[in-house]
Structure 1
Amino acid sequence: MAVLPPGATILPDPDAVARAAADHIVAAARTSDRFALCLSGGSTPKRLYALLAGEYRDRVPWERLHLFFGDERVGDTPEAGSNARMVAEAFGSDSPIPPGHLFPIPIDGTPEACAAAYEATLRSFHGSGTLTPERPLFDLVLLGLGEDGHTASLFPGKPAVEEDAAWVVGVPEAGLAPFVPRVSLTLPALAATRRMLFLVTGTGKVEPLARLAAGENLPAGRARAWGETVWLLDEAAAG
């Protein structure tokens, strides 16, 4: 078994990881009158969203949820808007998300322009230009771990990882395929949450987990909540 991050829980498979994440969301959302959830892309989050829209539908206080995105592919390529499309597909045509409670990242324009527009959306929702532990931006942030150690669209060695002032940045070129422009929340914005859940599944995640355990300075290792950071791994990822 690999050396695992602090706060890691090992579950049998991706479905169990998605179910555990759904339990976290339902329990946390019931404690807040306005619950800001930052969504992640990927196959395991898609299972999670389908669970929330299906089996968990009547347990979720949908009127309290406000849904944002941690990153998105932008521009005029076929890949643009893929995270928003995945979420829409997972929640289905009878989505329980109330109108006006889903905030997709703009995809028309340069990465910088789309980032500026989304940062304005976040600041308006937050009601302040300052992030503090007493008043975080999010209640829960979902993240994944890339095989190169990236999270959201913060790739190793790219300038976006070092951004410490902006909440959202343009990423002109991704660190791995598809090499399309992206927009990503920054590490400070992602950290401004009561709880962060990493959903990590599959054998392809064994190597990046080992690199994190060895102390390598990877973006996923630098993403930490002001509150609680929890890693939900399946047995394949845990090695």
Structure 2
Amino acid sequence: MIRLPENTTVFDDGEAVARAAAGHLRTLCEDAPNQRFAVCLSGGSTPKRLYTLLARPDYATLPWSRLHWFFGDDRAVPWDDPLSNVRMVREAFGTPSPIPETHLHPIPTADGPEAGARRYEATLKAFYGAETLDPARPLFDLVLLGLGEDGHIASLFPGKAALDETRAWAAAVPEAGMTPFVPRVTLTYPVLASARSVLFLVSGAGKQDPLARLSQGEDLPVGRIGGSPLWFVDRAAAGA
């Protein structure tokens, strides 16, 4: 088995990873009663399983009225495009969605990645109520992240300028590092790390390679997140 990051729990499959993530969300909500609660969503198949699961009656008792949902990244396509994370999330949560309409905060993509990044940064700052992040007051309660086969997280790809952005809250990615090669908008490292809990959801044999490269000390985007994130990994990804 690959030498896995600290704070890793291995589960049988992606479905078990999603169930554990749902339980983690429930626990965090219970630990923050009567407070507005912000979740940063990830694209990908395992997070999609999680969103579908959360829409089931078993999770109707979540405090939906105080949950707010943001996006770690998205492709600069219309929200109804098959490549859009907004479309994926809306389809996963279903109709009717348990998320109040005003509590889903998509990245605006209609006017291109540069304008989208500026507008989303303004949205995040308005929600947070300040122009700068305070380490003692995280922006998000939970940040969900996947892991790309090239080691990217959100739309922070190897070799791209957004990796080194530390002042902006959101950045344009004119050229993606892997397919589909469409422009994107991504949150930056300081913003993704501004969280009570950062949780990686990793499943499938295709993730063995980036996990192995990370364990060998290679400088991959995933290794720059900092802090002490949690990792929920299935056996196929762990090589178990």
TM-score normalised over the length of structure 1: 0.96
8 Å CA contact 1:111–1:181 kept in 2: the answer is yes
Tell me how many residue pairs correspond in the alignment.
237
What residue number does 2:136 align with?
A: 134
Q: Does 1:177 align with 2:179?
A: yes
1:77–1:99 CA distance, 2 compared to 1 (3 A)? closer
* Structure 2 residue ranges without an equivalent (≥5): none
Deviations 1:188-210 (A, max 9, x none): 10000010000000000001001
Conservation of the 8 A alpha-carbon contact between 2:39 and 2:70 = yes
Q: Which runs of 5+ in 1 are unaligned?
A: none
Report the AA paired with residue 125 of structure 1.
Answer: F
The amino acid of 1:112's aligned partner reads E
- Cα contact 1:196–1:224 (8 A) shared by 2: no
TM-align CA RMSD: 1.5
| Contact kept? 2:107, 2:116, Cα under 8 Å | yes
> What residue is the counterpart of 1:90 in the other structure?
92
Pairwise CA distance, 1:98: 1.3
Mean Cα displacement is larger for which, 35-44 or 69-78?
A: 69-78
% identity of equivalent residues: 59
Rounded Cα–Cα distance in structure 2 between residues aligned with 1:94 and 1:77: 18
| Cα contact 1:143–1:152 (8 A) shared by 2 | yes
Q: Within 5 Å, give how 1:90-109 maps onto structure 2.
A: 90-109=92-111
Which residue does the alignment assign to 2:235?
235
**Which of 53, 57, 73 is equivalent to 1:71?**
73
Q: Confirm or deny: 8 A CA contact 1:29 1:64 kept in the other structure.
A: no
Q: Which one of the candidate residues 29, 43, 61 is aligned to 2:63? A: 61
Contact in 1 for aligned 2:80/2:87 (Cα 8 Å): no
In the superposition, the TM-score normalised over structure 2's length comes to 0.95
Alpha-carbon distance, 1:64 to partner = 1.4
Q: Which amino acid aligns with 2:46?
A: T
Q: Residues 89 and 77 of structure 1: is their aligned pair in 2 closer, same or farther, counting only changes over 3 Å?
A: closer
Residue 46 of structure 1 aligns to which amino acid in structure 2? K
1:65-99: CA deviations, max 9, x gaps?
Answer: 00000000014698576100001001111111112
Q: Is the 8 A contact 1:73 1:79 kept in 2?
A: no
